[in-house]
Structure 1
Amino acid sequence: MSTPSSHVVCTSLTFTWPDGTTPFKDFRIAVGPGRTGLIGLNGSGKSTLMKLIAGELTPAEGTIRTTGGIGYLPQNLVLDTALRVDQVLGIAETRAALHAIEGGDPSEKHFTAVGDDWDVEERARAALDQLGLGHIGLDRTIGEVSGGEGVLLRLAALLLERPEILLLDEPTNNLDLFARRRLYAAVASWPGVMIIVSHDRKLLDLVDQIADLRSGEVTWYGGNFHAYEKALAVEQEAAERMVRVAEADVQRQRRELADTHVKLARRKRYGKKMEENKRVPKVTANALKRSAQESAGRLRIQHSEKLTEARERLTEAEDAVRDDDEIRIELPFTRVHPGRGVLRLTDLTVRYGAEPVGSLEVRGPERIALVGRNGAGKTSLLRTVTGELPPVSGEAVAEVPLRFLPQRLDVLDDGLTVAENVARFAPGATDNRIRAQLARLLFRGARADQPAGTLSGGERFRAALAAQLLSEPAPQLVLLDEPTNNLDMASVRGLTAALDAYEGALIVAGHDVPFLESIGVTRWLLLDGGLHDITAEDVREGRLRRPEPPRG
């Protein structure tokens, strides 16, 4: 584990992608012991910085200096499904040597492989237990566990390695509420240097400091995310006040410059009149004229400089105010009247689900949060409702037009522009109408002509959301699968704003409780051996168990 001197230091760091984008130029950051939350807008370079520190990318200039070993959990973890659990944990060779010795093979190579690690299996099982994975055997393969369990297995491997520096990039993506609680506990007890990129507010409330990455620079805030929000609110209030002061100063300097021009014009007319009336000798008049011109020039320069300085102060003040755009759209044709049938499930069993789903009726503009453990079948249920997966038994009938936004965002054609992608789903809409709606979703002007394959994670999500919400016929049932994965805080607010404009029925499979509460969920369903109604308090407190059957 880390010592008090453990740290990460980036000095004069410059990195450029092959397309010429330069997220970092002469960038500097120093991170010491403790938990640091690295936040910023999508595309600000958070994941790029993590890869640079982990050694997966090489900077064009500058240095990255770290003390001790580095453990890295990437945002999009891909594990070979054929790997055994002990291979993911990095103990396969040691474990095999240990078993060989226990089986009576005294070869020196086995003792060398084991070294002092005679309790490797006990430590591995303890690490698995810590993360709620005690039920997973060391000989099972990755193909037999859920995506969320795979993430936790990789984290367990890092805990076994005991690196001095631990890098976690969106670690709660795809984790159910149970797994998140285990992760929170592991993070809270970590004694070394930890850098976390996340949009998970609960996770960020466990950090010791926030590093806000914006425009290639880091601003530091002491305390957790809650403290950061408070400090930022005070900072932004002061910045807006400075803008008002600077605007008043610019107006004052403009008036003073205008007054100066008026005074100089009057003085010029007065001098000309005196000369015409022969009240002063010509030599004296010329001297006075030159003096007046020089004085006028100095005054104009002086007031012009003051106006320029005032404008510069205004620009600086405006730059300090964050102007993250907000999504504003109207979707009147998505309205569903209360009582109207929207979705009907009858004795349904889905593929890849652990147990039967059962029956369900959704009526009117209900907003349903679908929660449950990883592997319970939430994604399979949504794909069955859309018709992508045929049911094993029973039926799922959507009674209104529906759209589905999957985790992978594979509804977009990477070779088409944003506008062209939306046009695929709304063939009857004019180009002007599509672009007007895209502008409200922050794709203005040339941004609507960007190829989908070049979009950042947050932009890609907005484009996929636009394609679904603006499709024809207008969707009156929208299904979202883990929609906040990989989104920054601003994008999550944007998604909330877009869903505020949506007037149809909504089913969201997810584990981001603050987000689910922010979109006005009216019904919470637990998928665990069927669909069970639970309360928001049950979810917040982690009481996610199927109801006990009545006795007798």
Structure 2
Amino acid sequence: MSFPVTSDVSVTCSDLTFRWADGTTVFDGLSMAVGRGRTGLVGVNGSGKSTLMRLMAGVLTPAHGAVTVHGHLSYLPQNITLDTDLTVDQALGIADKRAALNAIESGDASETNFEIIGDDWDVEERAMATLGTLGLDGIGLDRTVGRLSGGETVLLRLAALLMERPDVLLLDEPTNNLDLFARRRLYDAVDSWRSGTLIVVSHDLDLLERVDRTAELRKGEITWYGGGWSAYQEALDVQREAAERTLRAAESDLRKQKKEMEETQIKLARRRRQSKKLDAQGGIPKIVAGNLKRSAQESAGRLKGLHEDRLQQARDRKEEAEGAIRKDAEIRVELPHTVVPAGRDVARVSGLRPRYGRLSGADLTIRGPERIALVGRNGAGKTSFMRTLAGELEPAEGEARVTVPVRFLPQRLDLLDEDLSVSENVERAAPNVPPQNVRAQLAKFLFRGARADQGAGTLSGGERFRATLAMTMLASPAPQLLIMDEPTNNLDVSSVRQLIGALSAYEGALLVAGHDLPFLESIGVTRWLFLDEELRETDAEEVRDLLEGRVPARGEED
């Protein structure tokens, strides 16, 4: 499906070429036009989705080509960083207008105050209404950003963008760090988008289902599909079936050409034997025999060349057909040293109150190769609890003791040294492992050959995750307790499948915090813990109700 260039087009990319500082080409002559409505931008990790969004937003400058935007553009990047000392009204960009309003109400009717307010006399009401649509009406305008959770910070930044009333809104992985309750609020905001252009990059299938059209970025080109994620997948299934039929036909043709080639070789060999027999009998004059021999050789050469050409063409068609079939690479790794015997104590928590969050005290024992899902609302303190258990934070009260090698995979994936290559980062985590063994294991994490020498600072989101995952799981000593904080953030569907495959080889204890319930269920969670003012066991069904707000968490009852 091609998207027509009309007067409704809001963003146009013309012949874009972009390269990183090390010379890596991301785009070479990419063109696209995006019109009004909601567009989902999809593609495998590393295809350049976030780079394209940054080019549209003017954060990056193309080496060649241009981006044209009609109207005001607002951009929500993947990684939100706000000054923790800012107040909510400062983050929303309305602090000066609030101050001017307060000054006028106090009797200061200076011209400056009226100029600051302009026509925005209802700015406080509009701000509270915008916060309310995103579930943030309880935070107030005077609270500092430092008191907000990661998910609340994302929604606050989105609220600030909506306050700008943009003509074009770019959202890059907006549901990262959001619990299900907050995601529902964001879904509502997307559903209510009625004017202007919205472009969203996400691995959240529920969010992608809400777009009007889908643009796939693959191999530096854009292909358009009508509808959301399901319609896009149906179109891919049709393409895949057609590609598989073409491959079967190409394979059949290749077998046919090989057989005909073999038959031709048999015929030519028979002719050579007959020719030698006639020569030996001497019944034909030499000049006639020579002419016949040359003619036979020329004929054989033409026949052989014809079949060789056909055989090569058949091979080319088969290779082209194979290339048209999309294949997801899989992580296949063996981690025998992570084994923990069933029943062995791995970690024990007694009366624990982390420094941050709502948890007032918790007792927990982790035994053997348990797979525990830690869930809770944004701001409950899941990350603080996990960092305390991993030994990165001192507890405010109580004790957390781990009796086996432990590794913590944080949300922000900040374990990598940007100045080192992928292999050098892993070698740093496993100093006693020979470099050739590190490279052999990295190949199983899809960093083969020169890819293992790629600088960490040049990796895409998905590549960065795989490198961090390799650094964590291949560490020495091998982790027998693996703690992961929102591991599916920034991952496309293919990368999530790769993570599931990698975790299937892990035989130690696993503690995962997340909001992606289908992922948690797919990795074989054996125990569900809900964290709020207390830490309590629950089940997947109740977790879903709690996170979506259908059942109040403790402290929320009327």
**Residue of structure 2 equivalent to 1:77:** 80
Distance 2:480 2:347 in 1: 10
2:427 alignment partner, SS class: helix
**Residue of structure 2 equivalent to 1:67:** 70
Map 1:462-481 → 2, pairs under 5 A: 462-481=466-485
1:328 alignment partner, SS class: coil
**Residue of structure 2 equivalent to 1:222:** 226
Query: Contact between 2:532 and 2:554, CA under 8 Å: does it hold in 1?
Result: no
Distance 1:25 1:309 in 2: 29
**Residue of structure 1 equivalent to 2:95:** 92
Query: Contact between 1:6 and 1:164, CA under 8 Å: does it hold in 2?
Result: no
2:393 alignment partner, SS class: coil
Distance 1:4 1:332 in 2: 61
Partner AA of 2:427 in structure 1: A
**Residue of structure 2 equivalent to 1:169:** 172
User: Per-residue displacement from partner, 1:261-281 (whole Å, max 9, x unpaired)?
Assistant: 433444455456556756566
**Residue of structure 2 equivalent to 1:359:** 363
Map 1:318-397 → 2, pairs under 5 A: 318-397=322-401
Residue 514 of structure 2, aligned match among 491, 497, 510? 510
Aligned-pair CA distance for 1:152? 0.8
Residue 210 of structure 2, aligned match among 179, 195, 206? 206
**Residue of structure 1 equivalent to 2:190:** 187
Partner AA of 1:374 in structure 2: N
1:12 alignment partner, SS class: strand
**Residue of structure 2 equivalent to 1:302:** 306
**Residue of structure 2 equivalent to 1:315:** 319
1:358 alignment partner, SS class: coil
2:46 is equivalent to residue 39 of structure 1: no
Query: Contact between 1:526 and 1:544, CA under 8 Å: does it hold in 2?
Result: no
Query: Contact between 1:358 and 1:530, CA under 8 Å: does it hold in 2?
Result: yes
Distance 1:67 1:382 in 2: 45
Deviates more, 1:392-401 or 1:277-286: 277-286
Partner AA of 2:226 in structure 1: G
Deviates more, 1:22-31 or 1:78-87: 78-87
Map 1:100-499 → 2, pairs under 5 A: 100-191=103-194, 192-270=196-274, 274=278, 288-289=292-293, 291-499=295-503
Q: Are the structure 2 counterparts of residues 258 and 355 from structure 1 closer, same or farther at C-alpha, using a change threshold of 3 Å?
A: closer
Aligned-pair CA distance for 1:469? 1.9
Aligned-pair CA distance for 1:489? 2.1
User: Per-residue displacement from partner, 1:509-531 (whole Å, max 9, x unpaired)?
Assistant: 12122221221222221211011
Query: Contact between 1:376 and 1:527, CA under 8 Å: does it hold in 2?
Result: yes
Q: Are the structure 2 counterparts of residues 420 and 239 from structure 1 closer, same or farther at C-alpha, using a change threshold of 3 Å?
A: same
Q: Are the structure 2 counterparts of residues 155 and 324 from structure 1 closer, same or farther at C-alpha, using a change threshold of 3 Å?
A: same
Deviates more, 1:289-298 or 1:215-224: 289-298
List structure 1 segments (4+ residues) > 6 angstroms apart after TM superposition: none
Distance 2:304 2:411 in 1: 62
Q: Are the structure 2 counterparts of residues 369 and 91 from structure 1 closer, same or farther at C-alpha, using a change threshold of 3 Å?
A: same
**Residue of structure 1 equivalent to 2:553:** 546
2:25 alignment partner, SS class: coil
TM normalised by structure 2 equals: 0.90
Aligned-pair CA distance for 1:288? 4.7
Deviates more, 1:309-318 or 1:28-37: 28-37
Query: Contact between 2:533 and 2:554, CA under 8 Å: does it hold in 1?
Result: no
Map 1:518-529 → 2, pairs under 5 A: 518-529=522-533
Query: Contact between 1:402 and 1:476, CA under 8 Å: does it hold in 2?
Result: yes
Partner AA of 2:266 in structure 1: V
| Residue ranges of structure 1 left out of the alignment (5+ in a row) | none
2:363 alignment partner, SS class: strand
Deviates more, 1:448-457 or 1:21-30: 448-457
Deviates more, 1:60-69 or 1:38-47: 60-69
Aligned-pair CA distance for 1:57? 1.6
User: Per-residue displacement from partner, 1:224-264 (whole Å, max 9, x unpaired)?
Assistant: 22333343234324323322321222232233233334334
Deviates more, 1:233-242 or 1:10-19: 233-242
Deviates more, 1:169-178 or 1:408-417: 408-417
| Residue ranges of structure 2 left out of the alignment (5+ in a row) | 1-5
Q: Are the structure 2 counterparts of residues 319 and 156 from structure 1 closer, same or farther at C-alpha, using a change threshold of 3 Å?
A: same
Residue 22 of structure 1, aligned match among 17, 25, 37? 25
1:31 alignment partner, SS class: strand
Aligned-pair CA distance for 1:197? 0.9
Aligned-pair CA distance for 1:432? 3.9
User: Per-residue displacement from partner, 1:40-81 (whole Å, max 9, x unpaired)?
Assistant: 222211111001111222222223233322121011122222
Percent identity over paired residues: 62
Distance 2:212 2:124 in 1: 33
Q: Are the structure 2 counterparts of residues 106 and 427 from structure 1 closer, same or farther at C-alpha, using a change threshold of 3 Å?
A: closer
TM normalised by structure 1 equals: 0.91
**Residue of structure 1 equivalent to 2:3:** none
Partner AA of 1:371 in structure 2: V
Query: Contact between 1:532 and 1:546, CA under 8 Å: does it hold in 2?
Result: no
**Residue of structure 2 equivalent to 1:12:** 15
1:7 alignment partner, SS class: strand
1:447 alignment partner, SS class: helix
Q: Are the structure 2 counterparts of residues 376 and 490 from structure 1 closer, same or farther at C-alpha, using a change threshold of 3 Å?
A: same
Distance 1:431 1:56 in 2: 38
Count how many residue pairs are aligned between Structure 1 and Structure 2: 548
Query: Contact between 1:15 and 1:25, CA under 8 Å: does it hold in 2?
Result: yes
Distance 1:105 1:496 in 2: 62
Distance 1:262 1:319 in 2: 34
Partner AA of 1:326 in structure 2: E
Root-mean-square deviation over aligned CA pairs:
2.6
Aligned-pair CA distance for 1:290? 5.2
Distance 2:257 2:296 in 1: 22
Distance 1:221 1:41 in 2: 16
Distance 2:496 2:469 in 1: 12
Aligned-pair CA distance for 1:328? 0.9
Q: Are the structure 2 counterparts of residues 454 and 49 from structure 1 closer, same or farther at C-alpha, using a change threshold of 3 Å?
A: closer
Query: Contact between 2:88 and 2:142, CA under 8 Å: does it hold in 1?
Result: yes
Distance 1:202 1:523 in 2: 25
